Each structure stands twice: as structure tokens, then as C-alpha cells.
Amino acid sequence: MCPSAGSEKTTRGWVIPIGGAEEKANNPEILQRFCDLCGGSDARILVIPTASELEDTGPLYVELFESMGARSVFIPVDEREDCFKDEIQAKLKRSTGIFITGGNQLRLSTILGGTPVAQLIRHLNADGVHVAGTSAGAAIISEHMIAGGRSGPTPLEDGVTMAPGLGLTNKIIIDQHFRQRDRIGRLLTALSYNPFASGIGIDEDTAAFIGPDRVFEVVGSGAVTVVDPSELRHSSMHDARHRDAITLIGLKLHILASGARYDTNTRTAYSE
């Protein structure tokens, strides 16, 4: 699944996966930058708290964005049938930015997947609306979503569960809370299935701001781990037995802190 084509007259919107636990009080650099990108005082940010089952998640982000000068609302998409409501789609169409909160990424995909809301998010992003997601909201941004899996440093035959994502990018597979939850093994497992995309593991309070040119800049207090499988020479995944460790030969690894960039087209990393 490729990202929506969009209009030839409109620049594609930014896509911003956040590793979770982003700073919200003392120096909310990531959220402020997203707010500014969406228009600052002219921003209209729609919050989608579907992944969370906590009642205060949507209002919390609305309050945060409004404290930054934006206008913000949240839409209560708790069931698939909500995604077919005209009033919810109308609110989406009025937004300059869409923010998808954290929680359970399978809840996100089973409620949003294949609905008019999911299709509209894709079309709006292609036509210039910026989309950010934190934690589970980051995972669902890509075409292939990591839905779950084991922590640990070693890729395992059963180390990850995959599901379809929104498909705002097909260049990367995203994992979040990366260093904090030791998720390198499950990201490597995901890449071993088909090393078409680069893998990016995003630390907490860290984001990848992916521009219309598909180059991303790292923002935040942590780092983004990039796994480039383009020169992979051997993978044992195809004949691994249940719970076997996987051999992967020829991977390239980058650790990118704030200010560093990565071109997802050419798979080239740049320092500040």
C-alpha cells in the first residue's frame, strides 16, 4: 500500500511518529513544534484518543494544544461505527493537524482500519494536513505496523506480531518506547520478514519529523535507532523453528540524536 497520491498543487503534510512519554510540561518541544507546523495560533488540531481507554486522554491533549495557542478538539471514536459518522468526518476535514494518542495499537487498527476515517486521514495527509502520533499512534503511521512482541536484544522467530497500519509511509517500520523497553529484537524480527523498509526505533520523548521529501529530522531528548536492511546478505527466518533466534548478516545501524537526519529514499544518515 502506497501513501495517497494527493493533489499535484498541494505539498504533502508532515508525518511525525513520537516514541511515547513526550514532555508535556517543562519543555514540550515536540508538541510545540507540531503545533507550530500546523499553523500556530491558526492551527486546528484534531485529537484521536481511540488507542486509549482513559477518559481524560483526549481532553488532556486538547488542553495542551490550546495552551500553545491552537484551537483543538477531540473526536470520541470508540467503535467502528463511529468512523462512518458524517459529523466526525466533517471535523477531520476542518483540521490542519491530526494527533493520534497512545494506548493499544491493535485497538487503533481494529477500530480505524479500512474505515472512511482511516481513508480520510490518508487523503488529508496527502493534501497537506500534518499527522502526528505518539506510542501506539506512532506505530500505526506506517504501512506495516508492529502490533506487539517480545522485549530483548535478539530477533526471534515468534518475536513480533504485525498488522496493517494507516500507510502514511511505506518506507519505514516504526517501534516506540524503544530503548526504555529494549525493543531492538522485535524490530529486527519485523525487518527479517521482508527487508524492504528501514526500521526506526524511537526513544521516549523523541520524534522523527518526516517531511514531504521523506527525510526526517530527530527532535527530542533521546535518539532514533535506524536499521537499514538494504545490504542484508542472509536471513534465517525462512527456515527457523518456533522460538529460534534469527541470523541476520549485513545490516547497517545508525543511532541518531536530536538534529540528525535520515533520508528514507536513499537510506542515508546525516549528522547536524
pLDDT tens, position by position, 19-29: 999 999 999 99
Catalytic residue among 177, 198, 217, 254: 177
Q: Is 234 a catalytic residue?
A: no
Tracing cell 495552551 back to the chain, one arrives at: 67
Cα–Cα distances in Å, from 250 out to 102, 159, 190?
A: 33, 20, 16
Q: Is 123 a catalytic residue?
A: no
**Is the Cβ–Cβ distance between 15 and 140 less than 8 Å?**
no
pLDDT of residue 75: 96
**Is the Cβ–Cβ distance between 16 and 208 less than 8 Å?**
yes
CATH topology of domain 15-263: Rossmann fold (3.40.50)
pLDDT of residue 168: 98
pLDDT(234) > 70? yes
pLDDT of residue 2: 67
pLDDT(7) > 80? no
Catalytic residue among 204, 217, 235, 254: 204
pLDDT of residue 4: 76
pLDDT of residue 194: 87
* pTM for this prediction: 0.97
pLDDT band at 10 (very low <50, low <70, confident <90, very high): confident
Catalytic residue among 4, 109, 135, 198: 135
Q: Is 23 a catalytic residue?
A: no
Mean pLDDT of all residues in 79-93: 97
Q: What SS3 state is found at 259?
A: coil
Q: Give residue limits of the domains in the chain.
A: 15-263
**Is the Cβ–Cβ distance between 17 and 176 less than 8 Å?**
yes
Joined grid coordinates for residue 48 = 484521536
pLDDT tens, position by position, 126-182: 999 999 999 999 999 999 999 999 999 999 999 999 999 999 999 999 999 999 999
Sign of CA dihedral 245, 104, 96, 61: negative
C-alpha dihedral (111, 147, 180, 138), degrees to nearest 10: -50
pLDDT(8) > 90? no
